[in-house]
């Protein structure tokens, strides 16, 4: 395991998921917890994670094989599926998810691990985000949403409309039920609706993703008026901007809150906080108050309340695990839940693609085939426009980072590459890099497609010929820029010689290494708040990403690339593999493939 949240002694450490599962929402049905998260333009869309104890999680399914709408056949960074919500109602699981350019969609299933219904655009409106459904005791159903300033031109309001009980359409026009402009609750978003003791509660983060806090609204009438209270701030903890999430309970009567923290390059990672109540308001995390003393921290199944006079909470970093067993046993010996984490490594021994993988855009049949009898996956070279840059290759096969530091080793066989094919590994963020083998003709010259205007550094005799084909090692580095939801990539390529004899001696087997290492920590000004005060984010990890190639057990000289890790468009850095084909201008050539034997992490 790269990182173990369950400490094995009845306690856990945060984050419970060091992975980019942004905007988490979760529910409990019986003894099962299900959590979903944003997936943007990656496919399959909307991962479903399962847990028995809120600490140990596994990805078990996806809501959608593809992002709805045809245009997501291409990567549209920052668009696609934003913060979704999951609910269980009348024997069915419902997922409502926003696509900020298209509207609010709904899909449902009897079994969350099975097939989900085709998504219905139940609220076709641009700029509406962060939906949460609510079924009231009188049978009426409602939908609460946020607003995206990037599409609407304004933000910081929550809206509500009555919807059909089957979730397929709205019955009324949306009304603003809370306006956070201009207050400390500027940028309020991500609402989640609950009901307790006759009160309607809306949990919503405010103040921005990286430097904000958690707010709860409450009212006696679902239409309002709502009063609010800040229920969790960073305080003295290292958890900046404790952001949106989900209130869940246990069968033993405890309350807990799952939320995310934006750690920049690593993405939006998931934390678990104890939750208590005071005077009808929740307090999330450890209570903050003068002379507050913790109680029950070491006790198994301890009450989440840790001080008598606290009024708001700050995130905890370690805590006793939730009491989830019906019998009340929740210590290490009494809890049979296996310690686990979402899969990362893959030996490709199954007939289906592992759930840790997502494509850079909606995939097509024929991109790959599983070969479990050989314990490999075969990636076919997908044809791409010769002007298309690395971040916009449709068939990048990607994973989330699973730790702040790690090494990923990938074994690939490039024997079946054809002229015009290129295959290797990728690191995808605002800064990006790729390291690949390209098959070419001896006199092919320099391929076009470099948008930086820089010449490719290719000299006569630098390619290596084998069996009538030539092979080059291609190093790609670049940066993405975003302008009004449009992404522009600027790349530079360096082409290096490959030794033909060494390639053949290694039976065309290449080892790719991808390493993430924290080099330092820095402080940043995130923004200015509604009163003009600077909001600082402290101790932000600054990571280096290093890629290199090994052949025959030796590092290929000059193959190393080192870049500064920077997150993508509202997503963490991802790493993975690819195999593409670019014809020379005016030429048509056959496409080949590569096999990947394993992907291993340490």
Flag whether pLDDT at 77 surpasses 90: yes
CA 59/CA 344 separation, integer angstroms: 11
Nearest 5°: the CA angle 51, 597, 338 is 20
Flag whether pLDDT at 247 surpasses 50: yes
- Going by pLDDT thresholds of 50, 70 and 90, the confidence category of residue 202 is very high
- Going by pLDDT thresholds of 50, 70 and 90, the confidence category of residue 306 is very low
Q: What's the rounded mean pLDDT across residues 442-456?
A: 38
C-alpha closest to that of 431 among 549, 262, 569, 577: 569
Q: What's the rounded mean pLDDT across residues 356-385?
A: 97
Q: According to the model, what pLDDT value does residue 40 have? A: 98
Least confident piece of the model among 58-67, 233-242, 250-259, 457-466: 457-466
**Residues forming beta bridges with residue 346, ordered by sequence position:** 599
Flag whether pLDDT at 452 surpasses 60: no
Q: Is 23 one of the catalytic residues?
A: yes
Q: Tell me if residue 265 falls in helix, strand or coil.
A: helix
CA 218/CA 214 separation, integer angstroms: 14
Nearest 5°: the CA angle 449, 455, 456 is 75
Q: Is 189 one of the catalytic residues?
A: yes
Flag whether pLDDT at 330 surpasses 60: no
Selected catalytic residue, list 189, 254, 346, 543: 189
Asked if 93 and 34 touch (Cβ cutoff 8 Å), the reply is: yes
- Going by pLDDT thresholds of 50, 70 and 90, the confidence category of residue 571 is very high
Class for domain 11-320, per CATH?
Answer: mainly beta
For every residue of 352-368, DSSP letters joined together read S--TT-EESS---TTSE
Q: According to the model, what pLDDT value does residue 268 have? A: 98
Percent of the chain with pLDDT over 70: 89
Give per-residue pLDDT as tens, 112-142.
Answer: 999 999 999 999 999 999 999 999 999 999 9
Helix (H) or strand (E) holding 521: strand 509-528
Q: According to the model, what pLDDT value does residue 460 have? A: 33
- Going by pLDDT thresholds of 50, 70 and 90, the confidence category of residue 105 is very high
CB atoms within 10 A of CB 502: 13
- Half-sphere exposure of residue 236: CA atoms within 13 angstroms, side-chain side: 4
Flag whether pLDDT at 95 surpasses 90: yes
CB atoms within 10 A of CB 386: 14
Flag whether pLDDT at 302 surpasses 50: no
Selected catalytic residue, list 23, 363, 472, 543: 23
- Going by pLDDT thresholds of 50, 70 and 90, the confidence category of residue 468 is low
* HEC-encoded secondary structure of 478-507: EEEEEECCEEEEEEEEEEEECCHHHHHHCC
Flag whether pLDDT at 107 surpasses 90: yes
Q: According to the model, what pLDDT value does residue 238 have? A: 96
Residues in the chain: 602
DSSP 118: P
Q: What's the rounded mean pLDDT across residues 480-499?
A: 90
Give per-residue pLDDT as tens, 539-557.
Answer: 999 999 999 999 999 999 9
CA 108/CA 241 separation, integer angstroms: 32
Flag whether pLDDT at 307 surpasses 80: no
Q: According to the model, what pLDDT value does residue 442 have? A: 67
Q: According to the model, what pLDDT value does residue 289 have? A: 62
What average pLDDT does the structure give for the chain?
90
Quote the radius of gyration of the chain (alpha carbons, Å): 25
Q: According to the model, what pLDDT value does residue 465 have? A: 60
Domain with CATH 2.115.10.20 in the chain: 11-320
Q: According to the model, what pLDDT value does residue 400 have? A: 98
Asked if 325 and 52 touch (Cβ cutoff 8 Å), the reply is: no
- Going by pLDDT thresholds of 50, 70 and 90, the confidence category of residue 332 is very low
- Going by pLDDT thresholds of 50, 70 and 90, the confidence category of residue 206 is very high
Q: What's the rounded mean pLDDT across residues 320-326?
A: 82
Q: What's the rounded mean pLDDT across residues 243-262?
A: 97
For every residue of 150-167, DSSP letters joined together read HHHS--SEEEEEEE-TTS
Asked if 379 and 368 touch (Cβ cutoff 8 Å), the reply is: yes
Least confident piece of the model among 37-46, 439-448, 459-468: 459-468
Least confident piece of the model among 241-245, 258-262, 275-279, 499-503: 499-503
Q: Which long-range contacts (CB under 8 A, 24 or more apart) does 59-64 make?
A: 59/342, 59/343, 59/355, 59/356, 60/112, 60/113, 60/355, 61/112, 61/113, 61/114, 61/355, 62/355, 63/36, 63/95, 63/97, 63/107, 63/116, 63/119, 64/107, 64/116, 64/119
CATH number of 358-514+546-601, picked from 2.60.40.1840, 3.40.190.10, 2.60.120.200, 3.40.50.620: 2.60.120.200
Domain with CATH 2.60.120.200 in the chain: 358-514+546-601
**Cβ neighbours of residue 331 under 8 Å, at least 6 residues apart?**
10, 300
Q: Which residues of 423-438 are buried (b: 16+ CB within 10 A; e: fewer)?
A: bbbbbbbbbbbbbbbb
Q: According to the model, what pLDDT value does residue 440 have? A: 87
Q: According to the model, what pLDDT value does residue 456 have? A: 31
Q: According to the model, what pLDDT value does residue 486 have? A: 86
């Amino acid at each position: 395991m790269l990182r173990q949240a369950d400490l094995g002694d009845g306690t856990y450490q945060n984050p419970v998921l060091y992975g980019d599962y942004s905007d988490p929402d979760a529910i409990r049905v019986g003894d099962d917890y299900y959590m979903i998260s944003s997936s943007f333009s990656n496919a399959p869309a909307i991962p479903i994670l399962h847990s028995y104890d809120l600490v140990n999680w596994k990805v078990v399914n996806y809501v959608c094989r593809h992002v709805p709408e045809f245009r997501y056949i291409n990567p549209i960074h920052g668009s696609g599926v934003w913060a979704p919500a999951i609910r269980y109602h009348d024997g069915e699981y419902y997922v409502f998810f926003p696509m900020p350019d298209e509207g609010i969609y709904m899909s449902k299933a009897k079994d969350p691990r099975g097939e989900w219904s085709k998504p219905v655009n139940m609220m076709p409106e641009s700029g509406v985000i962060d939906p949460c459904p609510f079924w009231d005791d009188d049978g009426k159903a409602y939908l609460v949403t946020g607003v995206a300033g990037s599409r609407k031109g304004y933000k910081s309001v929550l809206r509500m409309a009555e919807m059909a009980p089957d979730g397929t359409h709205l019955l009324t026009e949306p009304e603003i039920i809370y306006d956070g402009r201009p207050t400390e609750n500027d940028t309020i978003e991500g609402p989640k609706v609950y009901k307790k003791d006759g009160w309607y509660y809306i949990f919503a983060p405010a103040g921005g993703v990286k430097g904000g806090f958690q707010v709860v609204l409450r009212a006696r009438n679902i239409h309002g008026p709502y009063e609010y209270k800040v229920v969790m701030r960073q305080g003295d903890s290292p958890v900046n901007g404790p952001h949106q999430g989900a209130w869940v309970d246990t069968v033993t009567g405890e309350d807990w809150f799952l939320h995310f923290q934006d750690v920049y390059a690593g993405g939006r990672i998931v934390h678990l906080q104890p939750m208590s109540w005071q005077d009808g308001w929740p307090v999330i995390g450890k209570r903050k108050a003068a002379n507050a003393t913790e109680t029950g921290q070491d006790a198994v199944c301890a009450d989440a309340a840790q001080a008598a006079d606290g009024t708001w909470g700050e995130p905890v970093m370690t805590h006793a695990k939730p009491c989830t067993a019906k019998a009340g046993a929740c210590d290490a010996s009494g809890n049979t839940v296996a310690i686990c984490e979402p899969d990362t490594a893959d030996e490709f021994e199954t007939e289906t693609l592992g759930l840790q993988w997502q494509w850079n855009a909606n995939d097509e049949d024929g991109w790959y085939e599983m070969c479990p009898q050989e314990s490999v996956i075969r990636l076919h070279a997908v044809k791409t426009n010769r002007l298309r840059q690395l971040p916009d290759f449709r068939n990048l096969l990607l994973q989330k980072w699973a730790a702040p530091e790690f090494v990923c080793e990938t074994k690939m066989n490039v024997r079946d590459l054809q002229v015009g094919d290129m295959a290797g590994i990728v690191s995808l963020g605002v800064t990006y890099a790729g390291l690949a083998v390209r098959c070419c003709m001896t006199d092919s010259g320099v391929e076009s497609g470099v948008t930086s205007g820089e010449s490719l550094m290719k000299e006569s005799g630098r390619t290596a010929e084998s069996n009538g084909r030539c092979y080059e090692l291609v190093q790609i580095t670049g940066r993405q820029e975003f302008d009004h939801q449009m992404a522009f990539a600027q790349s530079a390529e360096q082409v290096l010689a490959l030794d033909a004899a060494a390639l053949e001696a290694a039976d065309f087997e290449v080892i790719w290494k991808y390493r993430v290492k924290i080099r330092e920590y820095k402080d940043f000004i995130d923004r200015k708040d509604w009163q003009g005060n600077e909001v600082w984010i402290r101790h932000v990890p600054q990571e280096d990403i290093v890629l290199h190639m090994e052949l025959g057990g030796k590092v290929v000289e000059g193959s190393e690339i080192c870049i500064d890790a920077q997150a993508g468009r509202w997503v963490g850095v991802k790493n993975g593999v690819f195999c593409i084909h670019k014809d020379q201008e005016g030429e048509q050539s056959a496409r080949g493939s590569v096999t990947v034997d394993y992907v291993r992490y340490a």
